[in-house]
Amino acid sequence: MHDAAKESKMIRDFENIIIKTVCRAIIPFIQLYGLYVIAHGHYSPGGGFQGGCILAASFILMVLAYDIKEMKKRMSEKINTILCSTGVIIYTGIGLLCVILGANFLDYGILEIILPADAEHSRSLGILGVEIGVGFTVMAVMVSIFLNIASAGEHEDGEQG
């Protein structure tokens, strides 16, 4: 039994080189696909929530393959909080801009006054802007929830796994 424990410790210490290499190769494409889903949300399946979840999944995959420290080099807690609030500000900002210009909340058609496009195109652009805001917020909140659950609220782990 002691031998088995020692052996499993040895295996855990051994570099997970296959998993790390594949994750390093695949994560950029996952993020690219997340941006694709966000950008095409208004005329194909997808949107801010789905794309944001895909972006968050790429960061969660990074935590699983490496560790939390490695991921926080890419996205620290500060940047995470800033992204979360920025998304909400973009969403609310576009909504309130429509109110200021004299229409209902999130009634994008009125944006034709300030955009160089007609009502239909400004409606499409407004939806795209709102989707981008939703995507930022969903990504940041998903990563934050995962970090809090995975590290019991301490946002750091010592053991490489």
Partner 1 sequence: MIVITIAVALIVAGTFFFVTATLGLLRFPDFYTRMHAAGKGDTLGALLSLAGLALYNLNNGFSVEAILISMKILIIALFIFIANPTATHAITKAGLVCSVKPWEKKESSK
| Binding stretches for partner 1 (CB under 8 A) | 4-5, 7-8, 11-12, 16, 18-19, 22-23, 25-26, 29
**Of 29 and 105, which CB lies nearer to partner 1 in the complex structure?**
29
**Of 4 and 152, which CB lies nearer to partner 1 in the complex structure?**
4
What is the closest distance, in whole angstroms, from the C-beta atom of residue 43 to partner 1 in the complex?
Answer: 15
Gap between the Cα atoms of 42 and 56, Å rounded: 20
What is the closest distance, in whole angstroms, from the C-beta atom of residue 48 to partner 1 in the complex?
Answer: 22
What is the closest distance, in whole angstroms, from the C-beta atom of residue 28 to partner 1 in the complex?
Answer: 12
**Of 15 and 149, which CB lies nearer to partner 1 in the complex structure?**
15
Gap between the Cα atoms of 115 and 117, Å rounded: 5
Q: What burial class does residue 13 get, using C-beta atoms within 10 Å of its C-beta: 0-12 exposed, 13-18 middle, 19+ buried?
A: exposed
CA dihedral 32, 69, 60, 154 (to 10 degrees): -140
Tokens of 81: 């909080």
What is the closest distance, in whole angstroms, from the C-beta atom of residue 125 to partner 1 in the complex?
Answer: 25
Q: What burial class does residue 138 get, using C-beta atoms within 10 Å of its C-beta: 0-12 exposed, 13-18 middle, 19+ buried?
A: buried
**Rg of the chain on CA atoms, in Å:** 21
**Of 11 and 100, which CB lies nearer to partner 1 in the complex structure?**
11
**Of 17 and 100, which CB lies nearer to partner 1 in the complex structure?**
17
What is the closest distance, in whole angstroms, from the C-beta atom of residue 4 to partner 1 in the complex?
Answer: 5
